[in-house]
Structure 1
Amino acid sequence: MSETRNVRSGVFLPPHHGNNEDVTLCMQRDFELAEWLDHLGFSELWMGEHHSGGMQIYGSPELWIAAAAERTQRIKLGAGVISVPYHNPYLIADRIVQLDHQTRGRAMFGFGPGMLVSDAAMLNIVPDQQRARLVEGVDVITRLIDGEVITQDSDWFSLRDASLQLAPYSYPRPELVTVTSKTPTGSRLAGKYGLGILTHGAGNVDGSWQAAVEAGKEHGNDLDRKDLRVVVSFHLAESKAQAIKELDFGLEDWMHYLEALNPKSYAETRAKGGTDPEKLIAARGGLAGTPDEAVEYLEALWEKTGGFGTIVLTGTNWMGFEATKRSYELFMRYVLPRFNGSNARRDRSLEWVFENRENFSGANQAAIEKAVAADGRT
């Protein structure tokens, strides 16, 4: 393959942890995973915000980022996402700038309306309020980070001559993204404010991107596909049979959680996959298999989406910790290099040496014989 791509690698941790495990140890394992991904050379790692259901255990991705940043060296760490309707947008902006300084620019920030209806219910927020609040909140957050002084009244916050006392560490501002799913809200926000996009590979990625591009043109922003992140679920092992067997650890627990969150989505997934682990993952747009299969999957995804800047693997905890780490290692060792064509020059060099092996070997042997003769020994 020629050198045609420079796709980055990331991991998205919702996270999912079985309710039968000790939560403190789960948190420590997530920090260990961050260190492992940093060691492997992953570009970024995202952590979600959730407040109910028991399985997704972090209410503040920002707190997690602050701790993970002290344990890692290069990997960028993202809040994926901050549920904007749950917070005063001024305080979100203030935390963003603080973390931008604490991490020296390694923190990223995603914005969404809030995934779990149960979270919103506890805060007495009805679902049809969430996207409108997301739009209003992102507007305030970006303007504050950009240095504006804001006076604004809303049905959920009120600001008077509000401004941030610190400028960002990153210029002109930290990396900000929106999440897109079933509505165009996130795409339009990305286009309007020049933000990146985080979207799922099983959905209409190209449609989401085009909606963002169109909104960007309306507001004078030229978007770049390098800022498009596509999320997929992979579990890789040396053989397909091994990959599927390792799903025994946590796939059914995750399916039970899906049933609690979204009975309709659960029923659709069961209808397609039954109790077959491989089919269940495929029904969710994912893959359980080998590195070779993952390369084929990504090539098809590239064609389907029109291209992207980062492939983000979902950290589902379907597998045990060692199998999870091995899956990420296989991806970085064997999948991403082939997909990106990053070994093309090595392949060319090997091919050239192989094609000229007789000439090179003969010349080397002649040089040896000449040296021996000159030394007067046989």
Structure 2
Amino acid sequence: MVPGHERLKPSGRAFTPEPGFNPARLSQSGGVSSIMGSDLRAERASGLARRVRQSRLEERPLTSLTDNMTFGTFMAPFHRVGENPTLALERDLELIEWMDNLGFDEAWIGEHHSGGWETIASPEVFIATAAGRTRNIRLGTGVVSLPYHHPYMVSNRMVLLDHLTRGRVMLGVGPGALASDANMFCIDPERQREMMDESLGAIMRLLDGSEPVTMETDWFKMKDATLQLRPFQKPSLPVAVASVQSPSGVLLAGKHGVSVISLSVPRDSIRTTSLKDQWAIAEETAEKNGQTVHRKDWRLSVGCHVAETREEAFDQIRVGAGQVVTEYTGGTNGNPIPDVPANEVVDYMVEHNQWIVGTPDDVISGIERLQEASGGFGGLLLRAEDWAPRVELHRSYELFARYVMPKYQGSLTGIIDSQQRSASMKDALQANRRAGLKRATDTYLAGNR
């Protein structure tokens, strides 16, 4: 067991909405080189962030963000090698249908081409299928790897989807997460973020549509390019940049005035800037480029699993979580992983605030910690993991929708107020009721004498 983990040992305490759950609590509590030069250092990023934090952080009250949060999933997806890939894709679609029925706001779908675990090669095709099986949930590319595509084709496909879904799509972009993908396409990893910047600049101009786009780089060209279809959403469809380890994502978001999806909670071993630093960099860069970024559009993605008791939540994903981290994160991609046995991965990740696992109350506490650590964000994306049987996964999303989302969406305000008002008047109301019953009884008896 991880040292210091004792306070997080599964307690077996059941989450019981009646009477143990207190609903009143729900109304309380609140390319880098193309932008800053190839020699960007973490010290510059941290210093830049500190200058902004001092003057701006207090201007972003958490309550204004937590009163109207959005919730969704970030679906890479992850499926263990060895199972039927067709059935795995069907489960992904079924999960989005389930989330649509539960009232989740959005689902972001990834693009990957190698590694065996993430088998959606075209998020646009997947979104087109999911859109026909859902009614309300918004669907985003999470993310299109821009260096792999001509920017005109990315823009054209997304605008077509925007019309076909009647405005339910969002464009998420990134440089490409898998080194094995870039290797297959002979793309220099040191150029990926610069290529992404060039592509995103072209895409934003094409979506704007105010003038034809002529542009030439060392990897794509356009001459007097315009889109026949303009975005269904006005003034345009939402655009977001993925931010994982380096400051490049938030730099690009600030430069182009788009939103941010932070795909992991920072760990000292892979990231040198905190969440607050990351957002401060986005704001500073936006200001320098005459743009604006909004915290309400900032989304964080985190691993999360919910059950009726903390013990059940840990046990349900203990084996699957260990497999994902050891076989995929470390074994397939070669990324750093916790130095603990596979069956203790979930304990480590929760202990180090990387995942949120437990009861709905535990999840609420975890979200509050993230809000405090970040200075405030507007959306939470639950990372879609295939680490438990389908029934338990779907139950996790149901518990989240029933007991976590209402706290942050204001849907219980009137209900709690009504219950508390009734409770405060119950003695007087019951006295009046008894008096009324007595009078009716006395009147009846008097008339029958």
TM-score after normalising by structure 1: 0.94
Q: Alpha-carbon deviation of 1:248? A: 4.4
Greater RCO (Cα-Cα under 8 Å, separation 6 or more): 2
- Note if contact 2:318-2:346 (Cα within 8 Å) is conserved in structure 1: no
Instruction: Report the AA paired with residue 222 of structure 2.
Output: L
For 1:241 and 1:370, locate their aligned partners in 2 and report how far apart those are by CA, in whole Å: 55
- Note if contact 1:31-1:68 (Cα within 8 Å) is conserved in structure 2: yes
For 1:201 and 1:332, locate their aligned partners in 2 and report how far apart those are by CA, in whole Å: 22
What count of residue pairs does the alignment treat as equivalent?
375
Q: 2:230 corresponds to which residue?
A: 167
Q: Alpha-carbon deviation of 1:262? A: 4.0
Structure 2 counterpart of 1:278, from 321, 346, 358? 346
Q: Alpha-carbon deviation of 1:249? A: 5.3
Give unpaired runs (5+ residues) of structure 2.
1-26, 31-62, 267-273
1:1-378 counterparts in 2 under 5 A?
Answer: 1-2=27-28, 4=63, 5-147=67-209, 148-200=211-263, 202-203=265-266, 204-248=274-318, 250-255=320-325, 256-266=327-337, 269-271=338-340, 275-282=343-350, 283=352, 285-340=354-409, 342-375=411-444, 376=447
SS in 2 for 1:32: helix
Q: Which moved further from structure 2: 26-35 or 201-210?
A: 201-210
- Note if contact 1:77-1:106 (Cα within 8 Å) is conserved in structure 2: yes
SS in 1 for 2:171: strand
For 1:275 and 1:84, locate their aligned partners in 2 and report how far apart those are by CA, in whole Å: 37
Q: Which moved further from structure 2: 337-346 or 172-181?
A: 337-346
Summarize deviations over 1:307-347 as a string: whole Å, max 9, x none: 11111110011111111111111111112223555423322
SS in 2 for 1:125: coil
Summarize deviations over 1:117-153 as a string: whole Å, max 9, x none: 0000000012101001000000001101111312222
Q: Alpha-carbon deviation of 1:222? A: 2.5
For 1:116 and 1:46, locate their aligned partners in 2 and report how far apart those are by CA, in whole Å: 17
Q: Alpha-carbon deviation of 1:53? A: 0.6
For 2:293 and 2:227, locate their aligned partners in 1 and report how far apart those are by CA, in whole Å: 27
For 1:23 and 1:116, locate their aligned partners in 2 and report how far apart those are by CA, in whole Å: 19
- Note if contact 2:318-2:343 (Cα within 8 Å) is conserved in structure 1: no
For 1:109 and 1:71, locate their aligned partners in 2 and report how far apart those are by CA, in whole Å: 20
SS in 2 for 1:198: strand
- Note if contact 2:329-2:335 (Cα within 8 Å) is conserved in structure 1: no
Give unpaired runs (5+ residues) of structure 1.
none
SS in 2 for 1:270: coil
TM-score after normalising by structure 2: 0.80
1:199–1:301 CA distance, 2 compared to 1 (3 A) = same
